[in-house]
Amino acid sequence: MPFRKLELCPQILQSVSNAGYTTPTPIQSAAIPRVLAGRDLIGIAQTGTGKTAAFVLPILELLSRKPAHGRGPRALVVAPTRELAAQIDENVRLLGKTMRIRCATIFGGVGERPQIDAVRRGVDIIVATPGRLLDLMGAGHVSLRNVEIAVLDEADRMLDMGFLPQIRRVVHALPKERQTLLFSATLSPDIEKITSEFLRSPETIEIGRRANPAETVAQFLYPVPKSRKIDLLLHLLRDPSLDSVLVFSRTKHGADKITRRLKQAGVDAAAIHSNRSQSQRIQALDAFKRGHARVLVATDIASRGIDVEGISHVVNFDFPMHPEDYVHRIGRTGRAAATGDAVSFVTPDDEEYVRLLEKMIKKTIARKKVTGFDYSDHAPLVAYHAPRAKPASLPARPTARKVDPPRPALRSAPRTAAAKPARRWR
């Protein structure tokens, strides 16, 4: 179904076309008509499916159909992280470019003043994280009484992050007469509970369950001892096809350490995690987007909302402890039908998590062995005992492992816009 069949006004169709979108994604085809019909909606879709435009487009359309009847935002989008909020704001600006839509983003970690000023000037849409939104509401800078449509995006993650009390307070400040949309990667019992609390006779649409990682992503496991993970990463980075690599670390400290080691080896790398200031995070993401940083090292929470086209590889430097995180991580590559690889390092301690994951995704992930890095190559060295039977002859030493020749420069040329894959949807 082409976009023009979706009852969107010509200005919106123009911005859709300017954004380079030709065909609606499945979540867009399913969600847009229902939202335009005024229904409450539960959208079960993982990130990368085009779910942001699935709510932004009908919101823009609904706002354009009716004039405002008072001050304050007419639509509110609540998201778990600043990065995701910034990304949604970017989408609103992109898709609302041909209309006079005013959007403000409200999140913590930066000064309140510009956000308060933006709201004072008048806004149609607010995109916010729950904490700062409540601060500004408490101080009387934001009122939600004229909100007609509310969206809870990545609701599952907001619950994981313990935001339920804050979300509840936000929802209670909304008018009873409103349309509510909730997006989540899974339909867990907790999500079902909050949907019955916050939504009215919602319709549920489910696109590409989170349990099935994006089909466009080729996945591989690399068994490796813990001590050799950084060497394996450097070894893999000798392949120039890894030109835009998102590396996941379990901890902030680990992310900094990996970044440091990569830089020492001449790889342009940047880190993004919650101990870094908002401006450092924006700078790191920007360097990665522009291709100045070949590698972005992130923790799970900081990676939420990273929307960078053309990520060639996701590397799970630390294997995720929760299968859901794995699916979220690998969803960062292969977005919008571009292909990508997901590479996971597996130490003997991680095998249990691998089993859990494979059970959940109902698939065995292919294993790749790199000679000299596989942890089974290392086991005999630890377990080696000289045989006692032949005291006269010394046991042969294990043969020295092949040493790699000196590495070529790891620095890659910045990606150019032309090198990026075209936006398209299958």
Provide the minimum distance between the beta carbon of 205 and ligand AMP in the complex, in angstroms, as a whole number. Answer: 14
Closer residue to ligand AMP in complex, CB, 209/257: 209
For 89-129, give the DSSP string.
Answer: HHHHHHHTTTTT--EEEE-SSS-SHHHHHHHHH--SEEEE-
* CA Rg value for the chain: 24
Question: Taking a C-beta distance cutoff of 8 angstroms, is the pair 23, 3 a contact?
Answer: yes
In the complex, the smallest distance separating the C-beta of residue 307 from ligand AMP, rounded to whole angstroms, is 5
Q: How many residues does the chain have?
A: 426
Of 142 and 182, the one with the shorter C-beta distance to ligand AMP is: 182
Give whichever of 81 and 259 is closer to ligand AMP, judged by the CB atom.
Answer: 81
Q: How far is the CB of 424 from ligand AMP (least distance, A)?
A: 6
What are the residues whose beta carbons fall under 8 Å from the beta carbon of 331, sequence distance 6 or more?
Answer: 46, 47, 48, 213, 214, 217
The DSSP code for 271 is E
Residues forming contacts to ligand AMP in the complex (CB under 6 A) are 21, 24-25, 28, 47-53, 307, 309, 335-336, 423-425
Kindly tell me which of 418 and 422 has the beta carbon lying closer to ligand AMP.
Answer: 422
What is the C-alpha separation between 217 and 344, in angstroms, rounded?
Answer: 13
> What is the nearest approach in angstroms of ligand AMP to the Cβ of residue 84?
9
Q: Which is nearer to ligand AMP, 124 or 307 (CB)?
A: 307
Six token digits for residue 419 = 């090198």
Give me the residue label for tokens 């709201």: 119
Q: Which is nearer to ligand AMP, 146 or 186 (CB)?
A: 186
Q: Work out how close the CB of 236 gets to ligand AMP at its nearest, in angstroms, rounded to a whole number.
A: 25
Name the residue nearer to ligand AMP (CB basis): 17 or 251. Answer: 17
Phi-psi region of 405 (alpha: psi -120 to 50; beta: other; left: phi over 0): beta
Around Cβ 259, how many Cβ atoms within 10 Å? 23
Rounded to the nearest whole angstrom, what is the least distance from the CB of residue 28 to ligand AMP in the complex? 6
CB of 3 to ligand AMP, least distance (A): 8
Q: Nearer to ligand AMP by C-beta: 61 or 350?
A: 61
Neighbour order of strands in the sheet with 103-106: 103-106, 125-128, 75-78, 149-152, 179-184, 41-45, 203-207
Separation of alpha carbons 262 and 194, rounded Å: 43
Q: How far is the CB of 4 from ligand AMP (least distance, A)?
A: 13
Contact 205, 44 (CB under 8 A): yes
